[in-house]
Amino acid sequence: MANPAILQSIIRLATRLGANPQKFIGSRTNIKFLGSGPANELFSKSIMINDLPRLFQAGGKLKPQILSKVESGVGYATAGKLSNSQLTTLNAQLKAMDNLKSSLTKPTGIVNTESFRSLGRRRARGSEFKEMGQRLKAQRTQGFKEAMEAADDLILEGSGGTITRTDLKNLSPEALQNLRLEFAPDIMARFFKPKLAGGGMVGLTDDIEAPGSAGLANILAV
């Protein structure tokens, strides 16, 4: 009897690789073979590691003929036609493909909640979640930096030339924050909360160049 855990893994991996369940479930129920079966299937022999990249198109999708092989192999598996040894071989082949596909299709662009949901749906490894978190942190930091640069531009414009960029660099963090609050209140309001007393605004840290975690939580809205 086929190992249910391996069979579930095969179906999950095949789906992640782009296989259509409608094309493999029930597709091999009427087929019988003796011995090891067809010699050109993914469960028949292992793919050499150096050959794996050739299985993919640009963008990380399997080539159509390889995807057809995946669907064929999974069709045999779901029909109960394979031995545990063949299931193990097929599962290993699909895992190797999936690992390579993950490296070929690393997420790009804006990181948001859906980015993490996408990783969850394909049951990504913990290292991929960690990398995504690092990208989100860098994105938030960059967003804060760009917002502060925009605030500084408003200071230069609003001062009518009486304040230069060199002047801004020579100011203390507190003095620079006060100028940003004066000339760019809308931008500053995205990252800093009003003080309860004494006026001004306060971030979640005392250093305006290094906002705290809650301040960073608003950066994606920039």
pLDDT digits (tens, 9 = 90+) for 112-147: 777 788 778 777 788 888 888 888 887 777 777 878
Q: E strand or H helix at 201, and its extent? A: strand 201-202
Among all chains, which residue has been given the structure tokens 């993919």? Answer: 56
pLDDT band (50, 70, 90) for residue 65:
very high
Predicted TM-score (pTM) above 0.75:
no
Q: Across the strands, what pairs with 194?
A: 201
As a whole-number percent, the residues of the chain with pLDDT over 90 amount to 9
Name the residue with higher pLDDT: 110 or 15.
Answer: 15
| Distance between CA atoms of residues 82 and 176, nearest Å | 70
pLDDT band (50, 70, 90) for residue 70:
very high
pLDDT at 97 over 80: yes
